[in-house]
Amino acid sequence: MQISTKIKNIRTSGTVKMAQLARELKQEGKDIIELSEGEPDFNTPKFIIDAAFKAAHNGHTKYTDVRGTLALREAISKKFLQDNKIHYSSEEIIVGTGAKQIIFNALVSTLNSNDEVIIPSPYWVSYPDMVKIADGTPIIVSCSKEDHYKITPATLSKAINKRTRWLILNSPGNPTGAIYSSSDLLSLAETLRQHKNVSIICDDIYEVFTYENKSFANILEVAPDLKNRVLTVNGVSKSHAMTGWRIGYAGGPLDLIRAMTKLQGQSTTNPSSVGQAAALAALNGSKDIIKEWNIVYTKRKNLVQEKLSKINNLAFLNPEGAFYFFIDCTGLIGKSTFSGLKLKSDIDICMYLLEHAQIALVPGSEFGMPNFLRLCFAKSDKILVEACKRIEKSIYALNT
């Protein structure tokens, strides 16, 4: 069978690849601790499941509006206004099969051949390949540790040219947990005002999980004049432990939402009707469960932070949000395993930890930052303590 050049030229998602490998090893009977996939370990709250069951039982199992049900879009409009001080009408909102599809649809709906998309690095693994599928060119802008892995106005200005169509901002960030503060966003907005050809995708999927008194902000909260150039993307996957329900959403300019709706109508049509009922219950329900989970994640973050800080040759910045540690493993490059294999890259280190410690992590090169490892701490305390013990033991077993 002929496979298109476009598909041949994109990569398999690094997080999906490592998670699948971990699942296969588990099926073989291996005691794998899976810290590679970015998924809450909590169950979807009961009141959400009950709402989905009631919807299905009452016959809400048919096609809906391609954009999502009016009730859900109105709830999303209310969420944006209450939580982010952004006014989107229900006509300016679209619901999709996960935030990933929303971003994909936006890129495919707007990019022509040779159009460029600026992607700060480290980045979520799928951004560059989605741009390529849309016939665009990803422009990777490396962000330094000194800048907490965030793009600055100076580096943004250097990357922009007449072909630039989008800047993707992910805050809190995957894989770093970095948060763009209101002042960060205000400074970026000053630069963006000078380049009216550049629009902004704000991927806010980890919005509700912040630590160390850090607060979340969207660029439209500080620069509302950019509203006709911003697509605000979010979803219920992380906030309500609903990754498998596949419901994401976005608010944006009406012409863009209409274009995305046209594309969605020719691909997946509407997202799951029952999933939408569940998302409606999530957005209209109490936020107490999110507050409780944030307390738990904070405890887990502090636990892993304490354990990892005692392991030689590992370094990291404390995450401000999301639920990942992005660990600099440069100090392990060049070391040898007990069998004599030399570790030449972060991929080698990940495979060594998978085989020797039975810990599944993701190499930083998948996020555009070689010599790093991403660890997801959305696991129980018991699992995280055991994982850190195994990592420490395996690292100390290396030869210099």
Task: Give all domains of the chain, ordered by start, each with its CATH number.
Answer: 5-43+288-395 (3.90.1150.10), 46-284 (3.40.640.10)
Strands, sheet with 324-328, edge to edge from the N-terminal-most edge strand = 315-316, 324-328, 372-376, 362-363
- Residue 86: the pLDDT is 98
- Residue 221: the pLDDT is 97
Confidence of residue 339 (pLDDT cuts 50, 70, 90): confident
Confidence of residue 282 (pLDDT cuts 50, 70, 90): very high
Q: How many CB atoms lie within 10 A of CB 230?
A: 26
Mean pLDDT over 220-225 rounds to: 98
**Token pair recorded at residue 316:** 């990291």
CA 327 – CA 177 distance, rounded (Å): 11
CA 296 – CA 294 distance, rounded (Å): 5
Contact (CB, 8 A) for 254 and 73: no
- Residue 27: the pLDDT is 83
Mean pLDDT over 146-171 rounds to: 98
In the predicted structure, residue 16 carries a pLDDT above the cut 80 = no
SS3 45: coil
pLDDT tens-digit map of 68-80: 999 999 999 999 9
pLDDT tens-digit map of 55-72: 999 999 999 999 999 999
Contact (CB, 8 A) for 129 and 108: no
Bigger pLDDT: 271 vs 7: 271
Give me the helices (H) in the chain, please. 5-8, 14-27, 46-57, 70-84, 99-110, 127-133, 153-159, 182-192, 219-222, 254-265, 273-284, 288-308, 346-352, 381-396
Tell me, what amino acid is at 269?
T
In the predicted structure, residue 146 carries a pLDDT above the cut 90 = yes
- Residue 95: the pLDDT is 98
- Residue 21: the pLDDT is 78
Q: What pTM was computed for the model?
A: 0.95
Q: Which of 324, 326, 323, 307 is nearest to 395 (CA)?
A: 307
Tell me, what amino acid is at 43?
N
Between β-strands 199-203 and 230-235, what pairing exists: parallel, antiparallel or unpaired? parallel
In the predicted structure, residue 207 carries a pLDDT above the cut 90 = yes
**Token pair recorded at residue 86:** 């952004």
**Token pair recorded at residue 247:** 């419901």
Contact (CB, 8 A) for 281 and 72: no
Confidence of residue 10 (pLDDT cuts 50, 70, 90): confident
- Residue 246: the pLDDT is 97
What does the chain come to in residues?
400
- Residue 255: the pLDDT is 98
Q: How many CB atoms lie within 10 A of CB 58?
A: 9
pLDDT tens-digit map of 283-295: 999 999 999 999 9
Angle at 171 between CA 297 and CA 260, to 5 degrees: 120
**Token pair recorded at residue 133:** 């599928």
Tokens 């805050």, residue? 171
- Residue 12: the pLDDT is 79
Q: What is the DSSP letter of 288?
A: H
- Residue 17: the pLDDT is 77
Mean pLDDT of the chain: 96
Between β-strands 164-170 and 199-203, what pairing exists: parallel, antiparallel or unpaired? parallel
